[in-house]
Structures are given as C-alpha cells and as structure tokens.
Amino acid sequence: MKPDSRAVHAGRELKARDPLAPPIVQTAVYVYDDLDDYDAVARGESPGHVYARNSSENPDWLERAVAELEGAETAVATGSGMAAILLALLALAPRPSPLLVQKELYGVTLALLRQDFEPRGYELRYADFADLEAVRAGLPGAALAICETITNPLCKVVDLPAVCGLASGRGVPVLVDNTFASPVLFRPLEHGATAVVHSATKYLGGHSDLTAGVVASGSGLAGDIRARGVRMGTTLGPFEAWLALRGLRTLGLRMARHSASSLRLAEGLAGLAEVERVHHPLLEGSPWEATARRLLPAGSGGMMAFDLAGGRDAVQRMLGRLRMVRFAASLAGVETTISYPDLTSHRALPPEERLALGITPGTVRVSVGIEDAEDVLEDFRQAIGR
C-alpha cells in the first residue's frame, strides 16, 4: 500500500467481529491463573501483556503502526518525544563517547546533550550537516551521529542519504529526528539511518491533545530501547496511545494540506516589505530547495519560519493584531500557530548562539494548519502590514 493507505490501516489486523475502531484498554495489570503462562509472556516467548509499564494493547497497536509506516522492524512508544530521544541515545551510545551533533538540533535536545550527557563524559562534536566535509571530519571515533530531517525552527534540509553513507563507511550509527517530515513524506531508514524518533505529540497525533514519542528501528536495537524504557518508566499510557493512533489515520490527508498551505504562506510572506527573510525548504531560491525537491517530492509539511523586521517589538505588535492565528509553544496541530524560538524551543541557548544559528529577535516559527491557506495568509498580511 502507498503511505496514505498504510496510515489508515497500519497497526491492527482486523478479524471477523472485531470492533472497527480500536477500543481503549484502560488497565495497569493483567491476570493469570498459570505460572508457566505468565513466565512465558514475561520472557517474551508468548504474546500477551503482564503490566502496563512493560506493554499493553494500545501502545502496541501504535508501535506496530509507526514501524510499518517507517519501514522499521519494530518501534517503541514513550511518554514524550524527549523520552524517545533519551532512550535512543542511551541504546546507541550506552557509554561516554564522542557524539557527532547537528548544530541546528532542537533546543531541548541540545540541552539534554549538554546538561545530562556532556557532564557524564560524552564529547559533543558539533557540525553543520549541510557541509559533508565537516560531517566527514567529525565521524572518526564517534559512537553516534544525530540529526533532523527538517531542522527546527529554520527548516533546513540536509542530504541525509549522503550523511548516512559517510557514517556507514565509518561504522557510525545515525539517529534521525523525523518529527517535522513524518513518515508519509520521508522515511530515513530507507536512506541508511539506524533509528528514527518522533515526537508523536506533533504530526503523528496531529491535534494538540496528547504527549507521546516513538522510536523506530531494527528489532535488536528496539529490544534494548524497550528494556530501558521499562526500567526508567517512560512507557506511554493507553489513552494517549489511542489518541495518537486515531490521529495517525488522517496523517496522509493532513500532511498534504499542511505542505501545500505552508508553501503558499511562504510565497505570500516573501512579498511583504516588513519580512526580511522567509525560511521554507521548497520556496524558490531557498538554499535547500534542490535537496528538498529530491528528498521530499510530496512536500515538506507545515513548518516554516520568517524573520520580521523590527525584532521582538515587531513580533509583539503582530501577535496583538492576529485574529485567527495564535501563539502556542508547540506545533503540528490542525490550527495555524506561531512560536517565538527565542523564548520557546531555543530559550536554553545563549543569545549569541541563537544568532549564530540564524535565529534572530525577529524570527517567528509558523506551524501552518489545515485552514484555507488564503485565510491564513490574509491574517498575517493584516497583522504585519498595518
């Protein structure tokens, strides 16, 4: 099946008399009347569940669905996207070692690496992953390379197949955060990545009503990830898993609309005198356009950013004039929202580092929803141009 069809049907194999919609199995523990049966399930030798911190029906359905969409052998659901990143990092680099880090990573991921991994002896090697020579130079001796399909917030797209090729030549695993693209637009494992993480809070769930994460990988690595998650208590609850799977069913439709509308907004904002720069990987003239068109032929999703002349004061004026678009420190819902990276996603970074990354006091990140694109553009025009 094509990705849109897989999103509708992935995760469950329906039999006669099964409920069409998955039920919510809201339980913490399961009962047994045979010790050998319990032991076989607990060992993983027989299908079933014993305790919800280990596994349960709803997270299991979500895991199978995401694994199928990503082309992975298996997946592990977690209580948040950051929990998914933490477990993947620990599974791929369990001991202090050098890590090759894309310097444009999500601010909280950078904070995790700096505040929790670096003090424990991990060496962080930062590189611009668009510069393949810089990637090549940082790989020798590295235990792991970590990057994003589309960066947050400036939406850069690197040549991931080339990066994975270089890493494979050195025997270095590659962890990819695929949150902004989703598996209906890009599947990193097909291009050489070792593992893929998602904040399922975002496009997989798609309705801003849950917090969840998923790691998709080969079965051997997933076993390590799952065991760590059980010990650390990062397991996703049944209701959040049910919500995520419910949202997943419309992923293909939503991503097509998000992609078309974000490009339309980018094109419209590029013509405003008050906008100094628009960041969208498929916008004509973008430095990432050629790579994005090759790797993301079906679109790049709903994320974009722009730099507003006048800095923070201009952003505040625009925010006060917006009628439909709202400020919210997350992304990927059906509603169009803006975020201010200086205060939200990258607030943990010092101002000089944000500026070096291209995040200015006038940078606004936009998560374009599924409203009519012309309504979204008109709201920005009247808020910026008055």
Active-site choice (60, 159, 177, 307) = 177
The CA distance from 153 to 106, in Å, is 8
Residues 6+ apart with CB under 8 A from 44: none
For this structure, is 106 an active site residue? yes
The CA distance from 85 to 176, in Å, is 9
**Closest of 242, 206, 251, 249 to residue 23, by C-alpha:** 242
DSSP label at residue 51: B
3-state secondary structure of 148: strand
Active-site choice (64, 156, 187, 202) = 202
Is-contact 204 182, C-beta < 8 A? yes
Angle value at C-alpha 359, between 355 and 362, nearest 5 degrees: 110
For this structure, is 177 an active site residue? yes
Q: What share of the chain is helix, strand, coil (3-state, %, to 5)?
A: 40, 15, 45
Q: What type of residue is 1?
A: M
The CA distance from 354 to 358, in Å, is 6
Active-site choice (53, 103, 125, 317) = 53
CA atoms within 13 A on the CB side of 303: 24
Tell me which residue has tokens 């907004």: 265
Radius of gyration of the chain (CA): 21
Handedness of CA 81, 157, 296, 173 (dihedral sign): negative
For this structure, is 323 an active site residue? no
Determine which helix (DSSP H) or strand (DSSP E) holds 257, and give its type and residue range: helix 251-269
**Closest of 133, 197, 140 to residue 159, by C-alpha:** 133
Active-site choice (6, 60, 64, 106) = 106
Is-contact 105 148, C-beta < 8 A? yes
For this structure, is 202 an active site residue? yes
Is-contact 58 141, C-beta < 8 A? no
Strands 326-327 and 275-279, sheet pairing:
unpaired
Angle of the 81-92 helix axis to the 219-232 helix axis, nearest 10: 120
Active site residues: 53, 106, 177, 202
